[in-house]
Structure 1
Amino acid sequence: MKLLNTIEIEPLDYTENEYEFPNTSKEKNAKAWSDFWYKCVSDSNLESLKPIELGSYLIDIKNISDSELKTILQKELKGKDLSNAEEYVEPLFGGIVITENDKIIIEPTCCGDIANLNHWEKIEKFELNKWEQLWIGHPWVYCKKTNESIILSDYTEVNLGDYKELSEKYNFSRQELNSQIKSSRKDINAFEKQIRKVLVELEIENANKISKLLIGNK
């Protein structure tokens, strides 16, 4: 089992051309959506980025170069009042991905962002054998801690109180997941430093504050 910190690269944010969307779902033809994504991001010279799987928009932060990050940050910060960064700068969309045997088990959903690692870090404070919401966007999952395991539900948008019984979908070693969460925090901290370095190169004031806001470290 492995945790990845990812950010979402929305293809239309990186092109001014009007490319036609694939006339199919990602489930039916991931290759068509991958080709569409690469066509869009290539207009911003981001074609070397590699999503976590075919058809995905999620990129492992450890695989982003300084030059690629420069393009991403320029897009993210364009038109924002950086003199009032705490009001206008938000964490980058994306979040935690869990893989097991090279298969994606859990990935961030709509409105999930890179700061959601904060929620994963709170799991150790959960009461034993009690379901709690784990925010990854919507739909979200519920999480239960036992002495040895961390158990996750399937994706859902149903309130916990509306369940008569919540089914267990995934069961992870508590020790192994905790180790992966700590490793993810180190990766996020390194990414913050990388962001700050690029912001300084771009001669953006308040680089330290903005770098923290972009990853949710206020």
Structure 2
Amino acid sequence: MNKIALIPVIEILYPAEAKEAEGAAPNGSWQAEPEAWDAYLRRLNRRMGFSDMRSFPLGSRRYPVADLTQADVALAIDLHLGDTPLQESCGLFGGLVLMEGSTPILIPQCCGMLADVASWEVLKRPEAFAEPFCLEGHPCPQAMSDSVEVEIQCIEDREPFEMPAPLSYRVSRQSLCDALEDAKRVLNRFAAKVEIWGRERGYTGAADVLVYEK
């Protein structure tokens, strides 16, 4: 098996007026036409004032938090909040993309949040368990562990998963632990940028609200 990684990504929800001004989006799904969707999103980003970010997975409206400049972070937060006061807001949308080598295995589902890193953290524990995780999003994947390996299952019930989402995928607990530690370091650096945004606007603990949902 290739090395696995967990890549923290933020999902940007573009305002309707920006999409209307940009014109028609590609006809197919982003999974079927990733290059066309990525080009469309890059045009939207330029229109909104973002840097030339590349979506990840390509075409998906998700962006690695490591790629966002300080100005990108500020704009993404301002879009997320709108007129909502910080302390009344939910966290930033996104989550962790599970990768094997260069192949995406599982992406955050609808309404997933960066704070779901805490849900992945629970999967590290050295005991047998079977339970859903990434509970902020829907539908939720299932995780089963025998304390050595963790099996992730995405079995559709009432709602289909956004692909990619594995029917069954097994990974060693140690590999998952290592990948999660790397992801947390990346997320902490992003949280520092969120804190800068907060201090510039007179807020304390902005990352606790927007990144970690404490």
3-state SS of 2:124 partner? helix
| 1:50 aligned counterpart, secondary structure | coil
Q: What number of residue pairs does the alignment pair up?
A: 203
Query: What is the match of residue 85 of structure 2?
Result: 81
Q: Indicate conservation of the 8 Å contact 2:55/2:62, yes or no.
A: yes
Deviates more, 1:55-64 or 1:39-48: 39-48
Within-5 A mapping of 1:80-159:
80-82=84-86, 85=87, 88-125=88-125, 127-128=127-128, 130-135=129-134, 137-157=137-157
State the TM-score, normalizing by the size of structure 2: 0.84
SS of the equivalent of 1:178 reads helix
The code of the aligned residue for 2:45 comes to: V
| Structure-1 residue corresponding to 2:162 | none
Distance 1:24 1:217, change over 3 A: closer
In our comparison, the structure showing a higher alpha carbon Rg is 1
Quick check: 1:140–1:155 contact (8 Å CA) kept in 2?
no
Given candidates 3, 6, 12, the residue that maps to 2:9 is 6
- The residue identity in structure 2 corresponding to 1:210 is A
Corresponding residue for residue 164 of structure 1: none
> Residues 172-183 of structure 1 correspond to what in structure 2 (within 5 A)?
172-183=171-182
Query: Residues 158, 179 of structure 1: CA spacing in aligned structure 2 closer, same or farther, 3 A cutoff?
Result: farther
State the match for 1:37 in structure 2: 41
**Is this contact kept in 1: 2:125–2:147, CA < 8 A?**
no
Q: Give the deviation of 1:158 after TM superposition.
A: 5.8
Aligned to 1:192: 191
TM-aligned CA distance change 1:168 to 1:54, over 3 Å:
closer
> Aligned with 1:25: secondary structure?
coil
Out of 199, 204, 216, the residue aligned to residue 212 of structure 2 is 216
Residue number in structure 1 paired with 2:64: 60
1:189, distance to aligned residue in structure 2 (A)? 2.1
Per the TM alignment, residue 18 of structure 1 is displaced from its structure 2 partner at its CA by 5.2
Structure 1 residue 73 displacement after superposition: 1.9
Write out the 4+ residue segments of structure 1 that deviate beyond 4 Å after TM superposition.
none
CA distance in 2, matches of 1:52, 1:14: 24
Q: TM-score, normalised by structure 1?
A: 0.83
1:205 matched to 2:208: no
Given that 1:95 and 1:113 are in contact with CA atoms closer than 8 Å, whether structure 2 keeps it comes out as: yes
* Structure 1 pair 14–176 and aligned structure 2 pair: CA distance change class (3 A): farther
What are structure 1's unaligned runs of at least 5 residues?
A: 160-166
Structure 2: gaps (5+ residues): 160-165
Task: Give the letter aligned to residue 119 of structure 1.
Answer: S
Cα displacement (A) at 1:67: 1.6
Which secondary structure does the structure 1 equivalent of 2:55 belong to?
coil
Contact in 1 for aligned 2:22/2:43 (Cα 8 Å): no
Supply the distance in 2 between the matched residues of 1:94 and 1:13 (Cα, whole angstroms).
19
Post-superposition offset of 1:116: 0.5
The Cα of 1:132 is off from its aligned counterpart by 0.8
Q: Matches of 1:168 and 1:127 in 2, distance apart?
A: 23
Identity %: 22
The 1:97/1:27 distance shift into structure 2, 3 A limit, reads closer
- Contact 1:8–1:59 (CA under 8 A) maintained in structure 2: yes
User: 1:172, 1:38 → 2: CA distance?
Assistant: 34
- Aligned AA (1:178): C
Contact residue 132 and residue 142 of structure 1 kept, 8 A: yes
Q: Per the alignment, do residues 155 and 5 of structure 1 end up closer, same or farther by CA in structure 2, a change over 3 Å counting? A: farther
Residue 205 of structure 1 aligns with an amino acid whose one-letter code is G
Change beyond 3 A, Cα 1:65–1:108:
same
